[in-house]
Amino acid sequence: MTGIYTVILERIFQNMPDYKVKLTPVPWKRGLKMAKQGKLLALYPPYARPVERPYMDYDMAILDEELAVFCRNEVLTKPRPNWPEDYYGLDIGNNAGFLAGGDAFWAAVKDKKISVQETKGTPRNLLKLIAGRVDCYMNDSLSIRWELKKLQSEGKYDGSSLSKGAVISKEQGFLGFSKVSNDFPYKKDFKSKYLQILKELKASGEIDRIVDKYLQ
């Protein structure tokens, strides 16, 4: 498992010696279903969606995120600063199950002004974008930059053919604790210690240092 949230959470859990934490990758939709059914303690990194996902607690954000759309350079030969109007007629990639893009975007999709292709995971979406199978891809800027760096090191990306387009919104990523996880009697204690350490790392600037190192 890779990614900035994984790095940060591993750093937090190192400071929780009373617990041995296992991070298990699951498809996003399955993870949401498991959280709803109480089959996992917590899931990361959901955005706060208390109406759509009332079965999770959103206590303290791990990171402030910038949701943006990245496109092939030829798509951005003309300026496209306005989301989603400037992207009408394009094919946009999205992580399967992610509620990104905003209401106006999904209304445009419903009206067939924009088409969407959903694929599991950021690396697969970016490979589709690099191959020209979609025009753009929307996700957290940090995640996209990290994966592009990794793909470039693997010889799968030239390092220059994609650019950031419009900023869609500002979001925050959480460790979302399942409200119905009754099989985890230690949840209250675990959650309390997790939130205290996260608060300390934020206050000390450690989270910012992790992010800076992550993107080098």
Does the structure show a pLDDT above 90 at 4? no
pLDDT, residue 99, reads: 80
Beta bridge partners of 137: 70, 93
pLDDT at position 65: 86
Give the whole-number percent of the chain exceeding pLDDT 70.
100
Q: What is the pLDDT of residues 51-78, one digit of tens each?
A: 999 999 999 999 998 999 999 999 999 9
CATH superfamily label, 64-172 = Periplasmic binding protein-like II (3.40.190.10)
Q: Of 79, 173, 163, 84, give the one whose Cα is nearest residue 129.
A: 163
Find the mean pLDDT for residues 101-118.
96
The predicted model gives 81-93 an average pLDDT of: 97
Per-residue pLDDT at 78: 93
Per-residue pLDDT, averaged over 135-152, amounts to 92
Mean pLDDT for all residues in the chain? 94
Is pLDDT above 80 for 34? yes
Within 10 angstroms of residue 195's Cβ, the number of other Cβ atoms is: 15
pLDDT confidence bin for 183, thresholds 50/70/90: confident
- What pLDDT does residue 212 have? 85
Count Cβ atoms within 10 A of the Cβ of residue 84 and give its class: 0-12 exposed, 13-18 middle, 19 or more buried.
buried
| pLDDT cut 90: percent of the chain above it | 83
| Banded pLDDT at 98 (limits 50, 70, 90) | confident
Domain boundaries, the chain: 4-58+174-215, 64-172
What is the rounded average pLDDT of the residues 187-193?
A: 97
Report residue 104's pLDDT band, with 50, 70 and 90 as the boundaries. Answer: very high
Question: What is d(CA 48, CA 3) in angstroms, rounded to the nearest whole number?
Answer: 19
Secondary structure in 3-state letters for 13-82: HHCCCCCCCCCCCCCHHHHHHHHHHCCCCEECCCECCCCCCCCEECCCCCEEEEEEEEEEHHHHCCCCCC
Report the candidate in 115, 45, 109, 114 with the shortest Cα–Cα distance to residue 86. Answer: 114
Nearest to 84 by CA among 108, 59, 56: 108
Find the range with the poorest average confidence among 30-44, 64-78, 138-152. 138-152
Is there a contact between 60 and 199 (Cβ–Cβ < 8 Å)? yes
Which of the 8 DSSP states describes residue 120? S
